[in-house]
Amino acid sequence: MRIGDTENFLLIECPSKEGIAFLKLEAGVFHNDQQFAATAWTCGSWDSGKRQNFGEFQDLKKAAFELPLAAGGWLRLDRDHRGWVAVSYRITGPRAPAKTAMEGEIWIEGEFAGEFCGELRALLDAAS
């Protein structure tokens, strides 16, 4: 699933390799002829507590949801009073001490928020 536009996007997918399922996030930002990109993944963090929290977010019972990423960072969903969803992310590089990070945010309009949540739920289920 890809959200955003050509200048600011987030790609979320569940590529399985050798029977191991994980969630991959790839972000890209293009500005003033410069390109910034980052990739992160998460595996094994979709437990019953996270499932319940996401279900409550999807059912409009909670205004926020956060999923930690494997190498640090996070994927956050926040719903505003209009029903729009802010998809925020922080993708960190795995190497210390010169750890780098890329943060961004993409808004999903209210009329598309339900479809987005359904697609994300399917990806998270596939990655568990």
Q: What is the CATH number of the domain that holds 48?
A: 2.30.31
Q: Which domain holds residue 79?
A: 2-126
Give residue 88's pLDDT.
93
| Greatest alpha-carbon span in the chain | 43
Give residue 18's pLDDT.
61
Q: In the chain, how many domains are there?
A: 1
Give residue 47's pLDDT.
75
What are the DSSP calls for the chain, one per residue? -EEE-SSEEEEEE---BTTB--EEEEEEEEETTEEEEEEEEE-S---HHHHHHHHHHHTTS-SEEEEE-TTSEEEEEEE-TTS-EEEEEEEE-S-SSS--EEEEEEEE-HHHHHHHHHHHHHHHHHT-
Give residue 38's pLDDT.
83
6, 3, 128: which is closest to 67 by C-alpha? 128
Give residue 98's pLDDT.
57
The pTM of the full predicted model, rounded to 2 decimals, is 0.83
Per-residue pLDDT tens listing for the chain (128 residues):
899 988 888 888 887 666 566 778 888 888 888 888 888 777 656 677 888 999 999 999 999 999 888 777 889 999 999 999 999 998 887 665 556 788 899 999 989 999 999 998 888 887 76
